[in-house]
Amino acid sequence: MASPQRFLPAQAYTDPQVHHWDCSGYAQRYWHPLTAGSALPAGHSLALTLLNQPLLLTRADDGTPRAFHNRCPHRGVALQHERDGATACRRLICPYHGWTYSLQGELLAAAREQGFDPPFQRQDWPLPSLPCREDGPLIWVALTPAVTPLEQQLDLVHQRVADLWRQPLHQVRILKRTLRCNWKIAHDNTLDDYHVAVAHPTTLHREQGPVRDYVHHTTALVNLLVTPHADGGCFHTFGLPPWLHLITWPDGRLALLEFLPLSLDSCCMQLRLFAPGADSDGPGLPADAANTVWLKELLAFLDEDQALVESAQRGYRSGLVPGPVHALEQRILHWQEVYRRDLPDELTQSLSCWAYGGRSEANPPSPN
């Protein structure tokens, strides 16, 4: 008889070594949606932070987005601050010593160059760049060149909602909130189709419809729940690595939900809403009231989930050995298998030893 499927042990959510790897090795394997493409017009730069790393996006007149570490190679000072937002510029000037760069990252000039020991070559001192792509309504950045192909990370999105994904979409809302739980608990919860009818009877359950209509799809990295929508068409909920969830509506709306690690016991829930046809988010737009209602509807079930995931974190901290897996929790297992494959050998061995309250996965407890 095959061994029963098992969730990750509680220590995967409570151990500092695992958290360190989540924010470094695991995060480096995948692309990250850093901002909406519409937030970075040509001839602009934008400073942002990803996992405590200050980054700088630019878009020159050629229209190509580029990503750099937000630090001058001379002495490490940031070239721009996040509080500045998207800034119109033709070049980047370091506020410390005046080194000047093009939006493509090339060093154009260094103040008093003759004072450096020769030979000083400008081409030797470009801004340190990162892989950067624009796909759908988002600009994606990778923290290392050795990253999973973005096409693989988004394969089900491209296959199932290609027309919606590639249409002109504008970001109409963005919300950030700190959750007092490990990011994996929040991520698991959003993949959990077993809890929807119980925990969200008047919110998300009404949107997703009866459990009998749930249809699941998976590829190597991505899982998908498809349900018929009351307004016609389908409601799609994608689970994407590393900690992303993409939700689409038949009318062309799209929501991106992320759970970015902050500490071992906390994460940042970031929600972005995209809609076709709206130029911006501001008062007086015909769509503005509808977008406010849309956000309110999403927050209704996200508020319900926040109470659950923060309670689950306390349970995991108390020595929980996770129970059996329900058929409607298969999307959690799919993602956890992706995560297990990415783990380095030493952490794989540790998690195996932690499973079942200290017993090896090779020797699970008796069902009695």
What are the backbone angles phi and psi of residue 259, rounded to the nearest 5°? -125, 90
Q: Which of 140-149, 194-203, 235-244 has the least mean pLDDT?
A: 194-203
pLDDT of residue 207: 80
pLDDT digits (tens, 9 = 90+) for 43-79: 999 999 999 999 999 999 999 999 999 999 999 999 9
Residues 180-214 as b/e (b if ≥16 CB within 10 A, e otherwise) read: ebbbbbbbbbbbbbbbbeebbeebbbebbeeeeeb
pLDDT digits (tens, 9 = 90+) for 291-342: 999 999 999 999 999 999 999 999 999 989 999 999 999 999 999 999 999 9
Residues 32-46 as b/e (b if ≥16 CB within 10 A, e otherwise) read: bbbbbbbbbeeebbb
pTM (two decimals): 0.91
Q: Which residue would you say has higher pLDDT here, 348 or 188?
A: 188
Mean pLDDT within 4-22? 93
pLDDT of residue 354: 67
CATH superfamily, domain at 31-147: Rieske [2Fe-2S] iron-sulphur domain (2.102.10.10)
pLDDT digits (tens, 9 = 90+) for 235-286: 999 999 999 999 999 999 999 999 999 999 999 999 999 999 754 444 444 4
Band (20; pLDDT cuts 50, 70, 90): very high
Residues sharing a CB contact under 8 Å with residue 85, sequence separation 6 or more, in sequence order: 46
Q: What is the C-alpha to C-alpha distance for residues 305 and 358, in angstroms, rounded to an integer?
A: 29
Tell me the pLDDT of the chain averaged across its residues. 91
Sketch the domain layout of the chain as residue ranges.
1-30+151-368, 31-147
CATH architecture of structural domain 1-30+151-368: Alpha-Beta Complex (3.90)
364: tokens are 């699970």
**Upper half-sphere CA count for residue 182 (Cβ side, 13 Å):** 22
Domains 1-30+151-368 and 31-147 equal at CATH topology level: no
Helix H or strand E encompassing 19: helix 16-21
What are the backbone angles phi and psi of residue 267, rounded to the nearest 5°? -145, 160
